[in-house]
Chains A and B, each alone.
Chain A
Amino acid sequence: MKSLGELTIVEALELLEKRECSSVELVAGMIEVIKERDREICAYVSLDEGGAFEQAKAADAARARGEKCRLLGVPIAVKDILNVQGQPCTCGSAILKGYVSPYDATVIAKLRQDGAVFLGRTNMDEFAMGSTTENSALGVTRNPANPGFVPGGSSGGSAAAVAGNLAIAALGTDTGGSIRQPASFCGCVGMKPSYGRVSRYGLTAFASSLDQVGPICKTVRDAAALLDVMAGHDSMDSTSIDVPLTDCTAAMKKDLKGLKLGLPREYFVKGMDRSVERSVMAAVETCRELGAEVIDVSLPHTEYAVATYYIIATAEASANLARFDGVRYGARREGADPLEMYCNTRAHGLGREVKRRIILGTYVLSSGYHDAYYIRAQKARTLIRSDFEKVFEECYALLAPVTPTTAYALGEKINDPLQMYLGDILTIPANLAGICGMSVPCGVGDNGLPVGLQMLGPAFKEERILHVGHAFEGAMTQKAGRA
């Protein structure tokens, strides 16, 4: 039998349904695995053993009563930026030391309603700002494929937990690639739903027009299963949209016959790692073998995406993070007057990358610069979105690399923020355009680290990328079996 950490959601549910394992046993087994192996990876920042056992007991009792819930008794890990009632929520920041969430985020409430068990919280770049999880006040997470490398970020803890078999599945958030990039770096499946698909209520805001919560899993089918529970309109989030989710399970056919998939030429950027390009092109070939017609397409404004994103995201962040002033929550540092108290609190509580981004965001919004930067970026964003609208008139979905390289070595990018930002070029456009995207493992690079294949789909067409991802994943499993 597989070790518990290797289970998928579908497999765990099967064991539970056949009574081969109880939820309490699953939780106990997972906690044992985490305690034994997370010392090296440091994917988790906190575990809620008491709460998890209580929820597992309740799930087992509900199952005994014959209750049907979609995730009944399945333990999952949660990025430390989503509020879970009664639990800490540090957002990877020293400023939230001691904070205890007074309520459940909507996505947590939905998962709870469907029987999920919340095992613990995963590490992340502070307030989701970063691409390596090194910007965390709570320690450095390592890539399970090679501990000398970063897991990516900002949802690095969640991706490392899933890829390292320390979690069955996890939640992440993606503002500019923070689910897809770590999934690609660690070798698991990560999906960013369309903007508005999943409620953001209870997700600590980084950039409100870009943030989305999504699943990080071992298989595409698991991602579909989690999304199915997470998705939906919420009156507490006026930006969540009431578009029903198409039955993803039915959409997940084994082949791609008759489908037109686009390959955006701008996504094969200068300086791209040759082995990443090779893996992605081999994956494109696999999609052709599955019956897809792959055509060359152009997204001409891609080269403006990073500049556009780092103006809009930091502008929104500078406003959102103004709430961390030491008045209502967080670690206050006293001062003679309120202004001094705010400044002291923020100076001590916030990390370097967060400060840099608040400064950049304040700058692009400040008088005299607003039109030249912020409004310009908003217009560029419109152009980036219309690029996608045009190609989706013809294409069912797009195939692309997730990142130009495999995972960075620990410490490699920490002192060069601009280089770090440039690495986000292939994930950022989807957030700007509000469309959905997913990373699915497609091979390893020359250095032995995982490479992901990115699928992009039109807004609210998650079933398309799940379909392509599932068929591709099936073909990869078959090839691995033959090899």
Chain B
Amino acid sequence: MRDEVNDGIDVGYVAKLARLDLTDEELRSFQEQLRDIVGYVRKVQELDVGSVEPMSHGIPISNVFRSDVPGSSLLQETVLKNAPSHREGQFIVPKIVE
């Protein structure tokens, strides 16, 4: 049976998922480098982790709440100052719906 998990990385496919256009040269060299890197990080599969709890964070904390009091936030014009394109308080992007 084909071992899908350890089949190796298809850099072209994953790059598309990550919204990255790669040049042919990048695709070639990343494919080789990431094959080695994925081969290396597969090391975590050697460990017996059956009953071990996964650690999703640096320190065990959960459900951090603050009191529900309105505070100040950045002004709209301040936020829009860094926008590549904006009009009437909105970010402009290429047309999505015809």
A residues apposed to B, CB below 8 Å = 98-100, 102-103, 194-196, 209-210, 235, 238-239, 241, 301, 303-304, 306-308, 310-311, 318, 322, 325-332, 334-344, 346-347, 350, 352, 355-356, 358-360, 362-364, 366, 368-369, 372-373, 375-383, 385, 417-418, 421, 431, 433-434, 459
Please, which residues of chain A bring their CB within 8 A of the CB of B85? 332
For the complex, give the distance between the alpha carbons of A349 and B34 in Å: 21
Please name the residue on chain B nearest to A344 by beta carbon: B21
Q: Does the CB pair B74–A239 fall under 8 Å? A: no
Is B1 close to A, CB under 8 A? no
Is B2 close to A, CB under 8 A? no
Q: How far is the CB of B75 from chain A (nearest CB, A)?
A: 9
Q: Does the CB pair A418–B21 fall under 8 Å? A: no
Please, which residues of chain A bring their CB within 8 A of the CB of B96? 337-338
Q: Does the CB pair B17–A355 fall under 8 Å? A: no
For the complex, give the distance between the alpha carbons of A328 and B74 in Å: 14
Please, which residues of chain B bring their CB within 8 A of the CB of A330? 82, 84
Contact-residue bracket for chain B: 35 or more
Please, which residues of chain B bring their CB within 8 A of the CB of A340? 94
Q: Does the CB pair A434–B20 fall under 8 Å? A: no
Please, which residues of chain B bring their CB within 8 A of the CB of A378? 54-56
Q: Does the CB pair B57–A239 fall under 8 Å? A: yes
Tell me which of A306, A352, A375, A381 contacts B26 (CB under 8 A): A352
Q: Does the CB pair B37–A418 fall under 8 Å? A: yes
For the complex, give the distance between the alpha carbons of A311 and B43 in Å: 11
Given A372-B5, A418-B40, also A100-B81 (CB < 8 A): yes
Q: Does the CB pair A360–B59 fall under 8 Å? A: no
Q: Does the CB pair A332–B84 fall under 8 Å? A: yes
Given A366-B17, A368-B5, also A459-B59 (CB < 8 A): yes
Q: Does the CB pair A311–B41 fall under 8 Å? A: yes
Please, which residues of chain B bring their CB within 8 A of the CB of A362? 14, 17-18
For the complex, give the distance between the alpha carbons of A304 and B41 in Å: 9
Given A343-B21, A376-B47, also A196-B66 (CB < 8 A): no
Q: Does the CB pair A346–B21 fall under 8 Å? A: yes
Tell me which of A102, A352, A364, A434 contacts B59 (CB under 8 A): A434
Given A347-B22, A355-B26, also A363-B58 (CB < 8 A): no
Q: Does the CB pair B47–A359 fall under 8 Å? A: no
Q: Does the CB pair A373–B22 fall under 8 Å? A: no
Please, which residues of chain A bring their CB within 8 A of the CB of B79? 102, 328
Interface residues of B in 38-70 (CB under 8 A from A): 38, 40-47, 49, 52-59, 61, 64, 66
Q: Does the CB pair B44–A241 fall under 8 Å? A: no
Given A337-B95, A359-B15, also A343-B55 (CB < 8 A): no
Given A383-B52, A418-B36, also A355-B61 (CB < 8 A): no
